[in-house]
Structure formats: structure tokens, C-alpha cells
Structure 1
Amino acid sequence: MLQELTIKDFAIIQDLNLSFNRGMTVLTGETGAGKSIIIDAVGLLAGGRGSSEFIRHGATKCVLEALFSLEGNSTTYKLLKDYDIDSEEDSVIIQRDIHRSGKNVCRINGRLVTIATLRLIGESIIDIHGQNEHQELMNPERHLNMLDHFGDQKLIQLKKNYQETYADYKKVKKAYDKWQNGEQALAQRLDMLQYQTNEIEIAELLDGEEEELLEEKNLLANYQKIMSALSISYDTLQGDEVNGIDLIGNAMTEMSSLEEIDEKYKVLSEAISSSYFQLQEAASDILREMDQTAYDEDRLNEIEKRLESIKQLKRKYGDSITEIKAYYEKIAAELNQIMNRENHLTNMTKELSHLSKELIKRGSELSEKRRVVAKKIEQAIHEQLKELYMEKVVFEVQFFKPIQDFASENAHESGFDDVEFYIATNMGEPLKPLARVASGGELSRMMLAMKTIFSKSQGITSIIFDEVDTGVSGRVAQAIANKIYMVAVHSQVLCITHLPQVAAMADNHLYISKSVENDRTKTHVNSLVSLEKIEEIARMLAGTEITKLTLEHAKELTVLAETEKQRQKQLS
């Protein structure tokens, strides 16, 4: 639902802030005041085509912003999630800036998006229908999806079952085609896998080997430094001449003679004695290290060569020996499949045949259910058309492919069906695609009939009618007013109208006017209350001069409208 709309420097509108409510809102007012401009602004926020010509004269850019509440719109939620756009507050803020240079900046909940993304998400929230804008109903590619939305839970489950099988079928079919058609590629792949497995096998890699080699290399590379430090340390501790251990031994002897005199000397004596024996043990360890440590240049070269081999394998197959071995297991399994290609293809053929039969079975079940739902739609729309005085119009959902002709190679994600809505507007005329029907009063009523049927199931929270009542009057005008309100029971409706019958049915009435200030045109929007609404309806009935009789007529229209609105609420 559209809650707030802000327009700055757009066409003749300098700065406008509007709040919208649930139900049916009509916009009326003098020609050129900006009614359609407001709808154009909403259309741009839904991803409509922008142009620098929209920018108000003298401004460098126009800024459009709207706040929508999602109200459980699952389609929009899914799209926001797909594009990683935050929607925690169950609302969407869309902003679009159009610069004089032609640059467009689009944001959804503060995140920059492309025009294509804006259009995709915008169309799931807003549906704008004008005299020449048909959108969903006029797009044959959307008819199948609309048909499915009209279905019950059984149809939804059948479609889900089909799509799961379709995904499995596509996966196996892709792999099968790759194996079946890629003889040369498979031969090249075989050569490469044989080379790679052979190269890894010959290396005979061991877990932890690289770390051990690096440690050994470090010791050999620092042989001179190690031997020098060991030698100096040993000479210092236990050399032929005066050494540290002998000196500490003297201190130990002297301190031991004082142990009986006082406890504190005994403690010191024991500490020196402990150090003496620890240093003797350390000197022995150093001597053993000196005897065992030897420099082997051949071993160092061998280690460096092995490390280089491991490095080359890591560069090709993984960042560690563990990863290289895991890669080996993977390609060895693939190599085995290629070596046993015929058996593998036989198994895949069996699996593909099974999935193909299951796909056709589930697709047929889905199509049968769709055809039942299609009959219900046809009946429902014919009932709506009768109320719009179009009882002779024939509406039909046409399926272009009989179920017995279904073949797995013709399957698509939504099934096997190709569906389009057809109508015949006059008796004796052949059915024609809805998308090719000329605009005008008949098309407006046709659109309203379908909106009434589909507004419950489409999930779109805001529907906009831009002068769809052009070319009608009298009882047809009242019928159109009733239908627009019926749509508003389930979705928020914004409607630009010149028909007093439509205005009388509104829950909210916005009057658009304009004035000239400082030689510039300025748009004003006023929300009309009860008496103001009656006066505006009287103006729509009479034109410039409003008489007492016209006011009485306007009042009568609003009373009749309230009665009709209560009736429709009870029916819904």
C-alpha cells in the first residue's frame, strides 16, 4: 500500500508531500492541475521510463520518494530477499533522482539498484492502468502466472511437484548432453585427467611432509650459526681452561659449608647446587648436539628440490597437500566415469527416461488442473462483464497445446502450457487475443472485470486507474464505479476520474488545483471532507455553475454510493 509520496521539482510540481490511506482514493480537479503528473511520478517509482524533460524548469534534478507497506506481499518479499535488500520493517522506501544530465539514481530501502531491478520490484507493488497502459493483463507472457494465482492450494502443490521434477530433469539432461555430444571435449578431458592423476600419484605426497621438510631445511641452512653458538656455549660452560661450571662448583662447595650455620644459607646452597647439576646436564646435551649435527649439502639440495615440486603441485591443484589429495580423489572419480563412459551413459539414459516420464506425468496433472481453473475464471469474468453491461462479450483462456502432445523437450519452468487470454467484444466476431483489443470504453470495462477477479490473487498492494472511465456514462459509469470500489476492497486503489459516479464511491477524495505565484504555476492538493466532496461532485455534474438541484443530485449520489459500498463489503 502506498502510504507517503514526496515529489520535488517534477514537471509543474515544485514540492509536494502526500499521504494516502486504504481503500479507494480519487483524484479530481481542473485540467492541467497535475493529477496525471502525480500518477506519472508513482509510475517512475515503479520503474517507468524516465527523462530529463520531467525536471521542473530551472531545477537541476527532480526527486521522487514513496513509502509502501508490504502487507504480506510475498512476491515483493521474495524479490527483496533475492536482491539482498533489507525489509525488516515490512515496508519499502523507493527513491528516484533524475538529473538534468540524464543520470538516474534509484534506491530501494537505501540500497542502490538498477532501473531493471526497480521495475521488477516496483511492478510487484504497483499496477498502473491507463487508457494506453495495459501492463500485466495486456502482457500474454504473464497470463499463465495470473491463471496459477487464481488457483487453489492443490494447483500450487501440483506446480511445486512439477518444478522439483523439472529441476532434476534439467540437471540430468545437461550432464547427459555434455557426455553425449562432447566426444572431442571428453577425449581432451581424458588426456588431461590422466596426466593430472599420474603427476599427483608419482609425487607420493604425505600428510605433514611439507612442514617437516621446511623444518629440516631451516636447520641445514643455519648450520654454521648453530655450530658456532653450540661451540661457544660449550666452551663457556665446560672448556679446558676456566669455565662456568667449575666456578659454580666452587661456589657450591663454599655455600655447602654454611648450611649448618643458618637455614637461609642452606636455601642458597641448594639453589646453587641445583643450577650446577642443570648446567652440567645442559653441557652434555650441547656436546651431544655438536656430535650429531652435520652439514649435508646434498640433503639440502634434495629438500629444496622436493619443496619446489610440492610448490608446483600446489600452484596447480590446491593450497595444501590435503587439498591436492582431495582434488586427486575428485578427478580420479571423474576419470573412472570417462573410462567407463558407455556404462555411465546407459545409467544416465535410464535416469533421464524415468525423469522424462515423471515430468510429463506431473506436467499433465498440472495442466488438467489449470484447465479446470480456467473454466472458473471464464465464468467469473463473464459474471463481472454482465454487471458492466457487456453480457455479449465472450472471454476465453486458450491453451495452445493439447495434453497428449506434451513432450519433455518442450517443457519449461512453469509447465508445458502456453496460455493467452482471448475475447470477442461483439456477437458473431471471432475470439482475438486480449493484448490486441483496441482501447476505449469497452477495453476499460474489460480491464475492470479482470482487475476485480485478479486483484484478490495478484498480491499487488496498490492499483492505479488513470482515467479508465473515458468514453462511458450513465448506467455504465455507475457500473464502473462499483467495480473500481470492488477492487479497492482487496487492494488500495488510486483513481483519476472525471465521472461523478466514481468520485461518489471514494473513501478518500483528493482535489488537485493550480495557481500562479511569482509567474510560476504551482500545484495544490486538498483532501476533501464531506461537504467539500459533495460540492466537487456537483461541479463534476454541472460544470462551472453549481445549482441547488445539482447539489441535491450530488448528495443523492453519495448516499447511494454509501449503500452500495456497504453491500459490497458484506459480499466480500
Structure 2
Amino acid sequence: MLRELFIKKFAVIDELRVELHEGLNVLTGETGAGKSIVVDALGLILGQRGQSNFIKTGAKETVVEAIFDAVSVASTEALGIDVSEELIIRRVVSSTGKNRSFINDSSVGIATVTEIGSTLVDIHSQHENQSLMSKSRQMRLLDSFGRTEDAVKDYSITLGRYRAMLDERARLAQNISNRDKRIEILRFQIDEITAADLDAKEAETLSKERAVLANLTTLKELSEGAYEVLHKRDGAMEDQSAVVVDSLEKLTKIDESASEILSMAKETQSYIKELSVMLRRYKDNIDFVPERLDTIETRLEAIRKLERKYGETVEVILNYRDSAVAELDELTAVNEKLDSIEAEIASARKRLEAAAEDISKQRAVTARRLESEIASTLKVLAMPKARLEISLTLNRNEDGSLKLLNDGADTVEFLFTANPGEPLKQLQKIASGGELSRVMLALKSAFAEYDDIPVLVFDEVDAGIGGETAERVADKLKELSKRRQVLCVTHLPQIASRADNHLMIHKHVSDDAVAITVETLYGQDRQVELARMLSGSITDISLEHARELLKKGGDV
């Protein structure tokens, strides 16, 4: 239930707090007092587009807040917002065009507000195409009325799988059309990479070896020079180290404290001899072989060529080959896969067509039952000759097969005529506001058992009606309010007299400002307002008539 609506700096409203009750709530007041502005503000809560012209002149922003009793809303649960005690939706629209939305003080996107708002409140006004005007909404309501939602849900799940199989078949068929050429390319690439016998470290190793081969002359000169210093040249380090050791041996015989120096000298002499042997081997093994350098250059160029074609590194090339092998395996097995998926598609389509036909049959039965119920309600609303027909079309393709749509194979359309002999028209093309109001009221009444939207708002549903018809509309609104909370903006005293909560909108105009206030009417004040609505002025006759209406409505 909607408990309270707070409006600040909206249109001509400075600040307004509207308290609502269970049952039938009515808003009355002089023409232009601002009753419909309240409904417009509520529309902002439902996610309608926030516009700068909503903002009161001179204000920086408008704020609209609605407080609902605790409800269970999947969207808030997914966002982790606790609404176990109450749900508060707040919209803030600034003069700069910035919109902000909050649920229980948690910032949310406008899409979330729209989704949640659509489950809480349904507004019907003279100038709006409401949810019942939508063919998809009409279809959902028909399914809800006939309890076919589960069958439609199962159908939709199967349809999703069927469409996925069609996509897979198209992909496989595309593969077949290009398969032979692609197989030839893949086999060439796999063979080329495999024949190269690549190793991840090979290029690095070859590059190092190439660097050595390219500098053999320098290496030879350097190693020869070092060897001569150690071994061959006059005064070579080997000879000099021997002289040092001989001298230290003699010295140690005289002074034993020099034994450690002698030991170090002998160790150094041993290192020099070993270094000399190693250098001799190194220089003797330096042998320039031009063919080896050519071989390395050729191999490195082959690797670089593969890198340019398949990737920047050997690892990438090898990964490409593995992917090519997997694709080749798939292509060579595509015929077998295609045959298998064709059989699955045929089976799924057969199940879908059977389900769609069954759903269509159930809808046809439901449509006739709903038409009968609507006709009975329209008679109560003083439209005894009116007829609402639910048109169901089972769509087929050119080959006669069923056209599989998202929720079956049907399209649905609510058609209406007010008088015998007149053609049926689409519901949204009904010209008369009074007729449209009563049809919408009849539909709302019929669907109230099945549509779980808790709050219904009617903005001037009384357009174009009066007298006995007004009485009947009032009775129907009262009946509807026993199952849903109803908020009704009205000019008809017959409807206002049935209210469980009567709110009057006052517009106060001064030289430099306009103020809107709301007053909950009781007793004598309510009688006076009904008298004004009856005759435009307060007279003994209009007051008496107002008392009669209240008595009839059970309030006196």
C-alpha cells in the first residue's frame, strides 16, 4: 500500500504531503487546483522521465518521495536493500538536468526505479497509453487470467535452446562452405610449423652462437695474447711465479712465520698453471667455419619468417599450431556434428510447435471467458451494447509451419466497439474518453484477481460520464478498492461520496505566489465539498443532495 506521497518544488507546488489509506482514496478540488499535478509527481516515482519544467520557478531542484508498506521486490533483494519494514522511493530532478534516484536512501539507477515502480503502481489517465494498451501486456494478462504462465515459461526456455541450436547450425554451415579451402590452409600451416621443429630457447641459443662466430678473429687474438703473458713470453707469469715460490721457500727455512705467505704463493702458482692450460685449450679450439655461420643465419631467418606469419615469439607460434590443429579436427568432423544438430533442431521444433498450439488453444478458451466477464462488467457500467473482443492470431510462415514467437505463436489484440453495427477498433483507438475510462475500469476489475499491482491510480476516469453511469462507475471503483488500494482524481460527487479517504486540493493565489495545500475532509467539510461538486455553489438543496450521497455511500 502507498502510505504517503511527499512533493517539494514540483510545478506550482511548494511543499505537499499527501497521506493515503487502504481502500478508495479520492482527490477533489476546483478545476486547475492541482489534482493531476499530484498524479504527475507520482509518475516521477514510477520512473517517468524527469524534466526541468517539473521544477517550481526559482527552485534549484524538485523532490518527490513515496512511502510504501513493506513489500517483496526481487530487484531490491538483488541490490541488498532491506525493505522488510517499508519501501521509500525518492526522485530528485535538478535544474541542471541531473536526475538522482534512491530506494531507502540507497542510490539506484532509473531503470531500477522503473522496474520496481511498475510492480507497485499502475496509473490510468485520459492522456496516457497505459500498460493495458500494450499488446505484450495484454498477452501477459491473458495468460495470467488463464493460468498459462508456466506453460509459456517452459516454451520460452525451450525456444531459447532452439535458437541457440539454430545459431550453432549456421556457424557449422558457414564452416562447411569455406571448409575445403580452410582445411588446406590449416594443414599447410600446421605442416610448416611442425617441420620447423621449433624449440622455445633455440633462437636465443643461436643468437649467442652467431655473436661468437662473428667475432672469432678478435677472440683468437685476445686468447693468444693472454696465453703468451702466462706461458710463452720472456718473463712469463709461470716463470715469475716459480721464482717467487723458490725465494719464499728459502725465506721460510730461515723464518717459519712466512709459511702462510709461501702457501699462498704456491696456490697462486697452481692457478696460473691451470689458467695457462685452459687458455691453450680455448685458443686451440677456436676454429672459424664459415658454413656454420651460414647455417645459423639461415635457421634464424626461418624462425623470424614464422614469427612474422604466426606470432612474435616461438611460444606464440606453437600455440597457433595447437589452435589450428583443434580447428582442423572440428572442420573434419563438421558433417557429423551438423547431422546431429539437425536432428536436435527438428525434435525441438516439433516440441515447440506442439506447445505453441496447446498454449493457443488454452488462450482461446481464456479469451472467450474474459470477454464474457468484461461484457458483464460493461453492462453494470451502463454500456449494455458494448463489446470487447480478444483477437488471437496463430501466426504461420509461408510454408505453413508455425511462426515461433517469444511467448508462443499467437499475437493478441483487444478490440472494442461501444455500439451495435460499429466496427471493432483497437483498444487504444477508442475516441470517447468516457468509453475508454469505463473499458479500462472493466479490464482492471477483471484482472484485479490476477494482476498483483497493489496500487491503482485513476486520473479523471469520470471524463464524459454522469448521472446513473457515474453511480455505476463509483460502485465499481468501490468494489475494486476492496482488493486494491485505489487513488482516484475525480470531479464526480458520486465517486467522491464512496471514498474511504477524501482529500481536497486547495489552490491559493496571491499577487506574487501560488500555493497548493491538501486537506483530509470529514463530516460537515466533506458534505460541503460534495455540495460544491454537485452544483458549483453551496445551497440548502445541494447540501441535502450531498447528505443523500453520503448516506448512500454509507458515510452518514
TM > 0.5 fold call? yes
In structure 1, what residue type is equivalent to 2:151?
A: L
The 3 A distance-change label for structure 1 pair 88 and 187 is farther
The 3 A distance-change label for structure 1 pair 106 and 507 is same
**Residue deviations 1:351-374, cap 9 Å, x none?**
110111011011111111111111
Higher mean C-alpha deviation, range 519-528 or range 344-353: 519-528
- For 1:486 and 1:315, locate their aligned partners in 2 and report how far apart those are by CA, in whole Å: 74
- For 1:335 and 1:310, locate their aligned partners in 2 and report how far apart those are by CA, in whole Å: 19
Contact 1:441 1:469 (8 Å CA) reproduced:
yes
Alignment of 1:339-358 (within 5 A): 339-358=332-351
Match of 1:125 in 2: 120
**Residue deviations 1:522-553, cap 9 Å, x none?**
11111122333233222222322232x43333
Match of 2:549 in 1: 557
Contact 1:131 1:439 (8 Å CA) reproduced:
no
Match of 1:137 in 2: 132
Establish whether residue 434 from structure 1 lines up as the match of residue 438 from structure 2: no
Contact 1:29 1:513 (8 Å CA) reproduced:
yes
The 3 A distance-change label for structure 1 pair 92 and 494 is same
Aligned with residue 145 of structure 2, among 147, 150, 154 = 150
Residue identity (%)? 37
Establish whether residue 46 from structure 1 lines up as the match of residue 30 from structure 2: no
Higher alpha-carbon Rg: 2
| Cα distance, 1:38 vs structure 2 | 0.8
Count the aligned residue pairs. 462
Aligned with residue 498 of structure 1, among 488, 491, 501 = 491
The 3 A distance-change label for structure 1 pair 528 and 411 is same
- For 1:202 and 1:439, locate their aligned partners in 2 and report how far apart those are by CA, in whole Å: 83
**Residue deviations 1:240-289, cap 9 Å, x none?**
x99xxxxxxxxxxxxxxxxxxxxxxxxxxxxxxxxxxxxxxxxxxxxxxx
Establish whether residue 482 from structure 1 lines up as the match of residue 475 from structure 2: yes
Contact 1:456 1:491 (8 Å CA) reproduced:
no
Contact 1:23 1:489 (8 Å CA) reproduced:
yes
Match of 1:94 in 2: 89
Contact 2:25 2:500 (8 Å CA) reproduced:
yes
Alignment of 1:249-268 (within 5 A): none
TM-score (norm 2): 0.73
Contact 1:85 1:108 (8 Å CA) reproduced:
no
The 3 A distance-change label for structure 1 pair 341 and 502 is same
Contact 2:47 2:113 (8 Å CA) reproduced:
yes
The 3 A distance-change label for structure 1 pair 393 and 405 is farther
**Residue deviations 1:24-63, cap 9 Å, x none?**
1000112222211111101122122332122111112211
The 3 A distance-change label for structure 1 pair 142 and 89 is same
Establish whether residue 380 from structure 1 lines up as the match of residue 388 from structure 2: no
Establish whether residue 2 from structure 1 lines up as the match of residue 2 from structure 2: yes
In structure 2, what residue type is equivalent to 1:66?
A: A
| Cα distance, 1:504 vs structure 2 | 1.1
Aligned with residue 395 of structure 1, among 363, 388, 400 = 388
| Cα distance, 1:474 vs structure 2 | 1.1
TM-score (norm 1): 0.71
Contact 2:70 2:84 (8 Å CA) reproduced:
no
Contact 1:360 1:406 (8 Å CA) reproduced:
no
The 3 A distance-change label for structure 1 pair 190 and 422 is farther
Q: Which consecutive unaligned segments of at least 5 residues does structure 2 have?
A: 202-258, 261-302
SS at match of 1:427: coil
Contact 1:465 1:495 (8 Å CA) reproduced:
yes
- For 2:426 and 2:387, locate their aligned partners in 1 and report how far apart those are by CA, in whole Å: 12
Match of 1:15 in 2: 15
SS at match of 2:164: helix
Contact 2:397 2:403 (8 Å CA) reproduced:
no
Q: Which consecutive unaligned segments of at least 5 residues does structure 1 have?
A: 211-240, 243-304, 318-323, 565-572
In structure 1, what residue type is equivalent to 2:354?
A: K
Q: RMSD of the alignment, in Å?
A: 4.0
SS at match of 2:81: coil
- For 1:370 and 1:352, locate their aligned partners in 2 and report how far apart those are by CA, in whole Å: 26
| Cα distance, 1:458 vs structure 2 | 2.1
Alignment of 1:180-219 (within 5 A): 180-183=173-176
Match of 1:510 in 2: 503
Match of 2:263 in 1: none
In structure 2, what residue type is equivalent to 1:397?
A: I
The 3 A distance-change label for structure 1 pair 161 and 517 is same
The 3 A distance-change label for structure 1 pair 523 and 338 is same
The 3 A distance-change label for structure 1 pair 346 and 383 is same
